[in-house]
Structure 1
Amino acid sequence: MKNFFSNIIEADFMPHGHCYFWRPEILWLNVGGDLLIALAYFSLPLLLFYFARKRTDLTHRYVFMLFAAFIFACGTTHVIDIWTVWIPTYRLEGVVKVITGFLSVGTAIAVYKSVPVLLALPSHDQLKALNQQLQVEVEERRKAQEELHVVNQELEKRVADRTLALQLANQDLEKEVLERTRAQQELQSLNHELQIANNELDNFVYCASHDLKAPIINIGGLLDVLVEELPPVDKHVQHVLARLESSLKQMNRTIHDLTEVSLVKQRHEISSSQQAESFKEVLESVQESIADTIEQSGIRIMTDFAAYPAALIKRKDLQSVFYNLLTNAIKYRSPDRAAVVFFSIKVEEDYLVLSVTDNGIGVELRGNEKKMFSLFKRLHDHIDGSGVGLYIVKRIMDNYNGLIDVASEVGKGTTFILRFPHVKLRAGF
């Protein structure tokens, strides 16, 4: 950011005129248009300032001032557009546009807040009529008792006017309620259509990934046959075959991840009749499924499930959580020390808290917390992965109305903190 502001007037980009191929009829057409708009925008603030100065009784004067500043800033953006045709100071242009944007938002908020008050102000004709009416009433009060009937008629007229105004207000209110009801119905309809579209998309992803499995398996078998049937080959061919095998594994892993994503898509209601799953047993089953990977990585797995050994959670969901967090710790382990990952459970107020801590390479979290749990988003591009595992964990937590947080420090490790609502998860042992 410091370099950005120190280079704010540096013309180190391509001038905008290149986009016009420096063709005079295009270039001057755009420059002329921006110039005319800028002149109009610069003249309007002067008129607003003059008007606000002359009208000393003007209410909400600051709204006129904001409009003047906003219009002046708009004119400045058009001047900058002319400037960048030849001199590409796009940083300065971006700052001017951001300032204009803030002025635009401020003006919109000011106008929004002022509209009810401005609408309530009486017009000139209304004030004139009220003044005349007051003069008549003063004159009538000076008259004798015989004019009391006229006064009563005037009062009845006022009551009739007020009643009519209330009726009109009620009609407007009924109309607004009807419009809101219609808008709510349209929103519900759109949400229903969106849910159908999401379900169709999930089904498509599941079917597509399922249909791709067979060709991938066939390609893997053909590759194995090819390796066995080939005579001794040079290192270049061996490298190509190794890359083919690696790409095939990556494709197979991606298809598997897509299948998992399509299956993790709806919230779960846990009934009291559901069997409680043991954290220790589920974690051990996950370790057995990836025993070779664990052995090759040399990672040491430690647990502390004594405080809460089991919970009412679907086994496949708990397996998916343990699998993705464990494989994440393996992938991002540090090459400088023995890898360790620690699973623990504790009860915290209304939540059952699962903590998974590793001593891996860590990650810079500033601004990356949401990206870490987004689909296909990865923070370490130099390490193989699909960017799906943490997304699946986040979806599972959402399905159980839970929360997930992360704490990490580069070079020291990462801790994932999963909070499941205690009402959904009760002790099984």
Structure 2
Amino acid sequence: MIIKFIENLFDLGQFVSHGHCYLWNPYLLGLHIVGDLLIALAYYSIPVMLFYFVRQRQDVPFKGIFLLFAAFIVSCGTTHLMEIWTLWYPTYWLAGGLKVITAIVSLYTASELFDLIPEALVLPSPTQWEIANQNLSQEIRERQQAEEMLLQAHNELEDRVSERTSELSSALLALQKEIAEREQANKLLHQSMQRYRFLADAMPQIVWTARPDGFLDYYNERWYNYTGMTLEQTEGSGWGSVLHPEDLQLCIDQWTQAYQTGKSYEIEYRFKRASDGAYRWYLGRALPMKNENGKIVQWVGTGTDIDDQKQVEAELRSALEKEKELSLLKSAIVTMTSHEFRTPLTTILSSAEILECYSHKFTEAKKLEHLQRIQRAVKHMNGLLSDVLLIGKAEAGKLEFNPTSLELEQYCRKLVEEIQLTTNTHTIVFGKQGECVDAYMDEKLLLHIFSNLLSNAIKYSPQGGTIRFDLIYKLGEVIFQIQDEGIGIPNIDQAQLFNSFQRGSNVGTISGTGLGLAIVKKSVDLHGGQIWVESEVNIGTAFIVTLPLNNRNLPDSFVTASIS
């Protein structure tokens, strides 16, 4: 039976070796062999060190647990060597037996360790032994001093021994009482300091103390965890290395003033967090601790993280500013629409009244003329409403960016043809430079850009003339340039030209809402492009627009920032 069991342990014919599982991949085999060899080497080296430690320290208690740990670790190392062996030799019964032995040793070690823990916990700590030794040494020295004094007094004043015995006894009792009181006071002081530091470490705020001269000598654990610094690095003025450079001088001034006047202070500053290098806002407070004579004996300070609060305040300020801007926009829209709608509404009303009263006297051509006036007025009002709705969506951050593949030259030529049909006094000349490539842009936004720029070129060139529309291909981007021979834009007006309801001061009686260029700017921003103007009064104006050719990967954060 035993022979059969041993044969099964070393039988190679029943199973397939692990090497087949790894497809005999040399790199995978090497990885497992090296890993298991290193683990086994580490496991076997640990018991050697444990045996050496136990032999060198004969006074170490619980030697048996060290030996159990050594046996457990050796068993674990052997299982890893067995993992290498089974790569070629499938003696899995033997491998399983080793694991069972390892499990038995492990469980026995764990049970022994569980029973041993209460005994280990009651062992005095090195600190307790040190305090006891110090107290005993102090008492011995004091007793030796008292005995020496008594012996000297006995030798010198033997005839007065009886008289002074009671006095010496009283003095000895008083001395012992004083010693006991001092020991009790030191013990209470030590306990108080321990409680203080425990409470300070438990606080979510940074806590620090400084000597009366301002030298910082203590921080709680929150400081070290946040800054990643040591006490040696932050003692004195070392804290300045993690303070934001913009806040350093203000903090030094406040601390210097508080130190000189002996008054408390409060300040907001930013400290660098070690985990990610980010600066966070803290509210710092410092209070002087004074004795009964009013003299400062210590400074105590705290730092409270208020970064989330500061962010909320900033968001609230931004929201209020945005609300204010939207309110001003609404007021401007109401003012503009009430003014701009008056003329087309008057036209519609007058033409409708004329047709109502005199249509029976008019020819068909005359009736058609009044109907066309009404249609033009309605189209004008519809355009105004479209501009108002569009700029409203843009200001509210809801203007969408939907790029699609676009044959850009064909699109521009078609747009030029359509705009040319609206004027008989202007000639729009389209030009192209560079190799034509497909673009990826938002067709609706391009229509807003070029229809507004071309319409403005016509509108602000009342004498007619030539308007150039140039399309220039460059590496990764395309440049559009629209140039007219109109009234131009004064330099003083150009900086605010792309803001809503802004127009040149020289437009005179030329109608307009001041929304077109604002819409153009929003549409260009959504493409991730740029626009600028070059103009001279009475010479003409050129608008230059640069757009990336492929915007399919434009990040959402950029789009949001652009439209807001």
Greater strand share, 1 or 2?
A: 2
TM category, shorter? 0.3 to 0.5
TM-score, normalisation: structure 2: 0.37
Higher RCO, 1 or 2 (CA under 8 Å, sep at least 6)?
1
- Greater gyration radius: 2
TM-score, normalisation: structure 1: 0.47
